[in-house]
């Protein structure tokens, strides 16, 4: 039987398509930038008034970025390049005659960068001179944890979970570079981002290098100080393998459609997850095992994966996202020999965030389809699903002791993940491999970029045949930008 997930396109076709997309963006789009910009400015000038009168997109309503000590994150520094000098001399208005006023305050340009993403961060040091800029920053996270698994505890542990350093460089008014290195548990060093953006217009820009793959929101916005709950959501770690970065190229941009409503997109081709997805872990299908060590150097099968995300920003701090990923994960050819059938992995994810007064609600759901060899099905999942919702409510804010503006947040999160959707052939029962987690806690933010949090976590774990296990933990941690 034909494999439903096997691509109908040949290897050469995909390669040609990738090259075509790259050529289109680099060769056609870049020179077209000046002309397009000119057209837009001409259109605004002819209309004689701003096209919109609403407030800017709520890019600054998200609070984790420091407003007290640090300078704002460079989300607002991404501006479309100024219009190039017109080729014909503009007509000067005659003196003494009333003229239509030119727009003094043009509509704010839609921002293609994700709120809370890699360009929405505080930096410890920033400088900008003659059109060039540089910034450096980072964050760190550490915690203490006491956990009990099925009634047995290994006691209390401290954990230096991660120290991340990031740099930002504005190479020209239309080009920027950013990179991030993570030092996990003090020993493991990984490069999470190293990308170059060529900013053409708000609605079309080019990105190349190592970037965060846009599946769900959390993978794009995962900095520990942004969250008041210590552990990352299950769906964003066990299904979507956050932090998932890959090397490739793509385009991104944003459109302002109507007043207060912005649409953004990003689409990339990249190496994709590797053969560890099935077989990398004996526990079952684990997408995180597809992040091979040489992911940034080698595509395991020569077939690039495609991923993308559509973002919708509404007024009142509401944002929705719909994202997807598809790619062949196994090495089906080795040195010209076909050694296996093509096996496809596809993920679709939905995310949202609502920021209303002191309340922030966010969540994410993802569904994965995995092509698995017939003999390994049931043991290895062909379908996975996971979702989480968390709520953070600032119940008190004000001057406290030595702080100028402290905030106290109540936090709660519900996590659910089913890593093997299906039924046992022998009994007809549902296959387990599930995890339900409830987390509640309280967080104190003495400054906006620092979160000191206490949380209690309860897990209900179900193995493949649905035997229930239980684990719980108390965590006390701190995460801060610097």
Partner 1 sequence: MRQAKRLWAALCPTLITVLLGGCLGGAPDAKKSFDAPLEGLTQAQRGAFILGDAAFNRMFTAETGLGPVFNAPSCSSCHVRDGRGHPAFRVTRFGLGDPTSAASFDYLLDLGGPQLQNRAIVGYLPESLPDLPGVVTSSRIAPQLAGLGLIEAIDDTEILSRADPDDLDGDGISGRPNYVVPPPFFVANPTNSTTFDGRYLGRFGWKATGINLVQQVALDYHDNIGITSDRLPTDLTNPIVGPTGGDPAPDPEISAATVQNVAFYLSVLRPPSRRDETDAEVVQGEGLFTQLGCASCHVPELRTSKKAAIELLRDKPVPLYSDLLLHDMGPDLADNYPEGDATGREFRTPPLWGLGIIKSTQGGRAFYLHDGRTSDLREVIKVHGGEAERSRTAFFELSETEKDALIAFLKSL
Residue 312 or 408 with smaller CB distance to partner 1: 408
Would you count residue 155 as binding partner 1 (CB under 8 A)? no
CB-based burial, 172-202: b 16+ in 10 Å, e otherwise? eebebbbbbbbbeeeeeebebbbbbbbbbbb
Cα 430 to chain centroid distance, Å, stands at 32
Tokens of 199: 């900013």
Residue 143 or 210 with smaller CB distance to partner 1: 143
Would you count residue 427 as binding partner 1 (CB under 8 A)? yes
Q: Is 88 left (phi over 0), alpha (psi -120 to 50) or beta?
A: beta
- Cβ at position 425, least distance to partner 1 in Å: 8
Residue 148 or 318 with smaller CB distance to partner 1: 148
Region from 22-30, 50-58, 235-243, 438-446 binding partner 1, contact rule CB under 8 A: 438-446
Q: Among residues 80, 117, 272, 441, which is the contact residue for partner 1, using CB under 8 A?
A: 441
Q: Among residues 202, 209, 311, 432, which is the contact residue for partner 1, using CB under 8 A?
A: 432
Q: Among residues 124, 148, 181, 361, which is the contact residue for partner 1, using CB under 8 A?
A: 148
Residue 253 or 441 with smaller CB distance to partner 1: 441
Q: Angle at Cα 118 formed by Cα 114 and Cα 123, nearest 5°?
A: 125
Q: Which of residues 80-109 bind partner 1 (CB under 8 A)?
A: none
Q: Among residues 128, 150, 154, 293, which is the contact residue for partner 1, using CB under 8 A?
A: 150
With tokens 């007290």, the residue in question is 68
Q: Which of residues 309-338 bind partner 1 (CB under 8 A)?
A: 330
Q: Among residues 442, 446, 452, 482, which is the contact residue for partner 1, using CB under 8 A?
A: 442
Residue 73 or 419 with smaller CB distance to partner 1: 419
Q: How far apart are alpha carbons 482 and 477 in whole angstroms?
A: 16
Which of 326, 324, 318, 418 lies closest to 363, judged by CA?
A: 318
Classify residue 68 by its DSSP letter.
S
Residues 276 and 323 sit within 8 Å (Cβ to Cβ)? no
Residue 128 or 150 with smaller CB distance to partner 1: 150
Site string for partner 1, 274-313 (x = CB under 8 A): -x--xxxxxx------------------------------
Q: How far apart are alpha carbons 50 and 58 in whole angstroms?
A: 19
Would you count residue 153 as binding partner 1 (CB under 8 A)? yes
Classify residue 32 by its DSSP letter.
H
Q: Among residues 181, 350, 378, 389, which is the contact residue for partner 1, using CB under 8 A?
A: 378
Site string for partner 1, 355-374 (x = CB under 8 A): ------------------x-
With tokens 């981002």, the residue in question is 193
Would you count residue 34 as binding partner 1 (CB under 8 A)? no
Region from 42-50, 190-198, 212-220, 472-480 binding partner 1, contact rule CB under 8 A: 472-480
SS3 166: strand
With tokens 């017939």, the residue in question is 374
- Number of residues located near partner 1, criterion CB under 8 A: 50
Would you count residue 154 as binding partner 1 (CB under 8 A)? no
Q: How far apart are alpha carbons 130 and 22 in whole angstroms?
A: 31
Residues 438 and 414 sit within 8 Å (Cβ to Cβ)? yes
CB-based burial, 423-447: b 16+ in 10 Å, e otherwise? eeeeeeebbbbbbbbebbbebbbbb
With tokens 């999942």, the residue in question is 381
Would you say the C-alpha torsion 207, 210, 215, 216 has a positive or negative sign?
negative
Would you count residue 470 as binding partner 1 (CB under 8 A)? yes
Residues 339 and 362 sit within 8 Å (Cβ to Cβ)? no
Would you count residue 188 as binding partner 1 (CB under 8 A)? no
Would you count residue 465 as binding partner 1 (CB under 8 A)? yes
Would you count residue 158 as binding partner 1 (CB under 8 A)? no
Tokens of 281: 């872990």
For binding to partner 1 (CB under 8 A), which residues are involved? 146-148, 150-153, 275, 278-283, 330, 339-340, 373, 375-376, 378-379, 395-396, 408, 410, 424-427, 429, 431-432, 440-442, 454-456, 458, 463-468, 470, 472-474
């Amino acid at each position: 039987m034909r494999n439903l997930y096997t691509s109908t396109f040949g290897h050469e076709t995909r390669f040609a398509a990738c090259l075509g997309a790259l050529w289109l963006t680099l060769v056609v789009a870049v020179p077209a930038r000046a002309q397009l910009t000119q057209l837009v400015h001409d259109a605004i000038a002819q209309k004689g008034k701003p096209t919109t009168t609403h407030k800017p997109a709520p890019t600054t309503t998200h609070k984790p970025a420091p407003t007290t000590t640090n300078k704002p994150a460079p989300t607002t520094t991404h501006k479309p390049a100024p219009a190039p000098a017109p080729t014909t001399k503009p007509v000067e208005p005659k003196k003494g005659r009333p003229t239509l006023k030119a727009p003094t305050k043009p509509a704010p340009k839609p921002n293609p960068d994700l709120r809370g993403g890699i360009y929405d961060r505080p930096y410890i040091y920033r400088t900008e001179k003659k059109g060039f800029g540089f910034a450096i920053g980072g964050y760190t996270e550490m915690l203490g944890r006491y956990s009990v698994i099925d009634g047995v505890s290994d006691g209390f542990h401290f954990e230096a979970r991660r120290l991340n350093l990031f740099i930002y460089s504005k190479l020209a008014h239309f080009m920027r570079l950013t990179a991030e290195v993570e030092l996990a548990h003090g020993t493991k060093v990984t490069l999470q981002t190293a990308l170059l953006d060529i900013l053409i217009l708000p609605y079309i820009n080019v990105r190349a290098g190592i970037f965060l793959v846009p599946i769900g929101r959390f993978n794009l916005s995962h900095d520990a100080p942004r969250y008041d709950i210590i552990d990352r959501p299950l769906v964003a770690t066990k299904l979507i393998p956050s932090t998932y970065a890959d090397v490739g190229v793509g385009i991104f941009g944003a459109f302002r459609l109507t007043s207060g409503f912005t649409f953004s997109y990003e689409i990339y081709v990249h190496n994709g997850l590797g053969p560890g997805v099935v077989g990398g872990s004996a526990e079952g299908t684990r997408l995180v095992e597809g992040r091979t060590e040489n992911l940034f150097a080698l595509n395991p099968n020569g077939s690039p994966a495609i991923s993308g995300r559509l973002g919708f920003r509404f007024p009142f701090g509401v944002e929705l996202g719909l994202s997807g990923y598809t790619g062949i994960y196994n090495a089906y050819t080795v040195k010209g020999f076909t050694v296996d059938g093509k096996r496809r992995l596809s993920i679709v994810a939905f995310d949202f965030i609502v920021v209303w007064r002191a309340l922030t609600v966010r969540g994410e759901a993802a569904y994965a389809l995995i092509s698995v060899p017939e003999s390994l099905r049931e043991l290895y999942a062909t379908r996975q699903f996971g979702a989480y919702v968390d709520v953070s409510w600032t119940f008190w804010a004000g001057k406290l002791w030595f702080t100028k503006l402290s905030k106290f947040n109540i936090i709660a999160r519900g996590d659910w993940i089913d890593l093997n959707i299906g039924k046992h052939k022998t009994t007809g029962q549902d296959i387990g491999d599930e995890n339900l987690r409830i987390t509640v806690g309280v967080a104190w933010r003495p400054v906006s970029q620092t979160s000191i949090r206490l949380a209690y976590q309860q897990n209900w774990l179900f193995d493949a045949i649905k035997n229930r296990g239980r684990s719980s933990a108390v965590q006390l941690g701190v995460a801060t930008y610097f």
